[in-house]
Structure 1
């Protein structure tokens, strides 16, 4: 309660009046000498907007952790501030990304998007996915920055006494866990050369990515929350020590660059219908990254399907990862969560076999556009486009789900999710200029529109 009043600049008299209790009772509650009834806790949630987990009302890990550790006022205030800032971050990711992109030189910016990319990381035109040459190094590759540095202490609240949580992911796990939150082996980008189409990868863990990327986003939100998002990023000079520590965002030796794969799916509708693309709303309650914004679909981390050693090589393929995401996000099939003991038999998997055969027949095209980073979090993504003939799309994805484990597939005007959004100048402009959109999805859409003649005529 004291933390809430301090954050919202309210005195005890006003808050007590709102809650229907005396100022003396409120003072006793804040001092810890008077118990807080369940009814009053519910009032605090309803009237003041305090999160239930801040009051010990949530279940599972968060509840037990808070009940045992939040008794100290300075620990409670530290965590309260973190949760407030985290919620504000998720509510303003799109605007913060638009601000963050201006922290980097113009030559790094992907036009019309809050994505940055090294000029050598963006292809001059769509590159057929099959022409990429990927190699995997399983040797250790050290990093300079991993998110445990003192520069991240302001975004890591107190765990016990005067000790902060060690990593940002530890904070999320205990104070704000989304539905999907587990660390899995992931492929780490070591080098990229679009002249030869050669990419070298190593191995890392998904949480290695979040410990840096989400801390960066939180740092910027923290700097903007009280005074609002500035129009001039120069006003933030000196307030972003962790971002300054990162230095060159494209240096794969300085930190672990662990890319996701974001795919724009374009459906070639029968004439005279316009081509359409699929759009996804990412539910903040379900996902840890790119929450509360629109994104293209499918999108997922570039990672093996399990922790098994044999899956490191069996799943080390961009197309195989894309098809796995199609099965989960469009068809609602269970996620490949590492509980299997056998590798995926791609050649005998009906979905993979049918889509791969359609690629060979020329009714499906799969293309690589480049690699970029969300300016807000510096989370990397490989940008891809899959163009699907209407007959193949209807046969394979005709029964696509509307809701999945990460959010909702957007339907227009009461139509089915698979009808998609018209791939027209008007709709593309609206998504890029007026709607909150994840940086990678925005980049896929902008680059696909730029190269639409090549993509639609593949």
Structure 2
């Protein structure tokens, strides 16, 4: 294997500025205004030559910071010419990485169309109401006959669940993993994102892995996984379709070896499936309305440039502390945390601090309102984004107007993941039409709105819950 040539020119620029790798990383992140996250590890990879040529955004940031031309940073020119004495093999690596980055960047604006195209690859026995052409797919076994009150659901933790059959490092995925060295591709798609195109939010945190769905017993089963485990499959599949040649007919499928390798999208034992929880939040009353979230592709690894449910987030503990694993194994608490983070802009649930104290406000207030029946939460079922095969555990929270206005009296217009439309969207027969007038709607949000409309009368019934809140 060819050794990487160190970028001595970049090292010299940093040392001349009197900065450590960590200080330079923080300075570049500040210069980017939060649109990307640069870390000490990123700087180290550039200086060691692990990354022959970062994407143009990073090169522009470095050139602006050091007050030099991009060609004076010591990287390999992605067009093929050397900016410092790397070998021809290193130049080929840079060209391949540049090609990968172009596809990755183009993917952001094509997710909606690609999801709709990918849905045609799968024959299913259930069609989500109103979701034709959205890219949302599911099976009848994953959708309950009627919405299930969250208090009636059972979730089980299976720490000894068997490992998935595939992890995204197999030969069929080689086409979506760029060159890391002359003869070696990146082993994981997530590592390529980390090195070449890292968004602002990209941490390999512990997540709950969806392993089973049984609506006969109103139960979901979970094990654990890392966030990168999901990215390797989900974003690898999206990248493969984005890079594929367009089929000549609507029924013809492009050559997609990785997608073929993944196989049955509903086989939860075959791949690690991130259990993301998306909640359609409805302000009840005589004129019910809902709020959606525009996710920024520069800030999140998946689902960027689409309108999505709010709150929405991966099912995961609130902290790296072991105590959080037990106390946060709760769909409701996950919904609470995401609402506080996304609607109120509270970033204390970021994952690296102490476990959340749910007896403090605003969590305690939410709990009291739910116990009184002023917040009613239901599960609508589970769907997949056909492009990525990422799962959405779809829920809906109907909140009494006075409680909604009290809890969310001061909401943010933007958060770490994107911006929030300034107007609420009416929840009624034309909800999807109204939502689509604001932009492309994600498969999960489309499915949640369609399923909620199907059961609108029950969801907006103001009678108290049928059983006490647990």
Range of TM-score over shorter length:
0.7 to 0.9
In the TM superposition, residue 332 of structure 1 has moved relative to its aligned partner by: 0.5
Task: Find the counterpart in structure 1 of residue 91 from structure 2.
Answer: 73
Question: TM-score, normalised to structure 2's length?
Answer: 0.78
Task: Find the counterpart in structure 2 of residue 353 from structure 1.
Answer: 364
Cα distance in structure 1, aligned partners of 2:63 and 2:315: 33
What are structure 1's unaligned runs of at least 5 residues?
A: 1-49, 413-419
Out of 186, 197, 221, which is 1:200 matched to?
221
Does 2:235 match 1:214? yes
Task: Find the counterpart in structure 1 of residue 260 from structure 2.
Answer: 244
Task: Find the counterpart in structure 1 of residue 396 from structure 2.
Answer: 385
Task: Find the counterpart in structure 2 of residue 366 from structure 1.
Answer: 377
In the TM superposition, residue 59 of structure 1 has moved relative to its aligned partner by: 9.1
Alpha-carbon spacing, 1:65–1:352, altered in 2? closer, same or farther (3 Å):
farther
Does 2:110 match 1:92? yes
Superposed counterparts of 1:197-346, under 5 Å: 197-224=218-245, 227=246, 232-236=250-254, 239-269=255-285, 271=286, 274-341=287-354, 343-346=355-358
Which string of whole-angstrom CA distances, capped at 9 and with x for unpartnered residues, describes residues 146-188 of structure 1? Answer: 0101111111111111211110110101111101000111111
Cα distance in structure 2, aligned partners of 1:58 and 1:140: 49
CA contact (8 A) 1:331 1:397 kept: yes
CA contact (8 A) 2:212 2:220 kept: yes
Which string of whole-angstrom CA distances, capped at 9 and with x for unpartnered residues, describes residues 345-379 of structure 1? Answer: 21x12212111211121211101000111000000
Cα distance in structure 1, aligned partners of 2:74 and 2:318: 33
Please identify runs of 4+ aligned residues in structure 1 that moved more than 4 A: 54-60, 63-66, 68-71
In the TM superposition, residue 438 of structure 1 has moved relative to its aligned partner by: 1.2
Deviates more, 1:432-441 or 1:188-197: 432-441
CA contact (8 A) 1:374 1:439 kept: yes
Task: Find the counterpart in structure 2 of residue 51 from structure 1.
Answer: 56
Cα distance in structure 1, aligned partners of 2:187 and 2:302: 20
CA contact (8 A) 1:183 1:205 kept: yes
Question: Which of the two has greater helix per residue?
Answer: 1
Alpha-carbon spacing, 1:230–1:109, altered in 2? closer, same or farther (3 Å):
farther
Out of 152, 161, 177, which is 2:173 matched to?
152
Task: Find the counterpart in structure 1 of residue 11 from structure 2.
Answer: none
Cα distance in structure 2, aligned partners of 1:179 and 1:234: 37
Alpha-carbon spacing, 1:76–1:199, altered in 2? closer, same or farther (3 Å):
same
CA contact (8 A) 1:99 1:231 kept: no
Which string of whole-angstrom CA distances, capped at 9 and with x for unpartnered residues, describes residues 8-34 of structure 1? Answer: xxxxxxxxxxxxxxxxxxxxxxxxxxx
Alpha-carbon spacing, 1:349–1:59, altered in 2? closer, same or farther (3 Å):
farther
Question: TM-score, normalised to structure 1's length?
Answer: 0.80
What are structure 2's unaligned runs of at least 5 residues?
A: 1-54, 66-70, 79-85, 463-470
Which string of whole-angstrom CA distances, capped at 9 and with x for unpartnered residues, describes residues 392-443 of structure 1? Answer: 011110101111110111013xxxxxxx111132342343699411111111
Out of 423, 443, 446, which is 1:442 matched to?
446
Out of 445, 451, 454, which is 2:455 matched to?
451
Cα distance in structure 2, aligned partners of 1:177 and 1:230: 34
Aligned to 1:188, the other structure's residue is in SS state strand
CA contact (8 A) 1:155 1:218 kept: yes
Cα distance in structure 1, aligned partners of 2:217 and 2:64: 52
Cα distance in structure 1, aligned partners of 2:175 and 2:227: 22
Alpha-carbon spacing, 1:434–1:241, altered in 2? closer, same or farther (3 Å):
farther
CA contact (8 A) 2:103 2:239 kept: yes
Deviates more, 1:423-432 or 1:434-443: 423-432
Task: Find the counterpart in structure 2 of residue 39 from structure 1.
Answer: none
Cα distance in structure 1, aligned partners of 2:115 and 2:364: 38
Matched residue count: 390
Aligned to 2:75, the other structure's residue is in SS state helix
Task: Find the counterpart in structure 2 of residue 103 from structure 1.
Answer: 121
Cα distance in structure 2, aligned partners of 1:152 and 1:370: 30
Task: Find the counterpart in structure 1 of residue 159 from structure 2.
Answer: 138
Out of 370, 375, 387, which is 1:376 matched to?
387
In the TM superposition, residue 268 of structure 1 has moved relative to its aligned partner by: 1.5
In the TM superposition, residue 243 of structure 1 has moved relative to its aligned partner by: 0.7
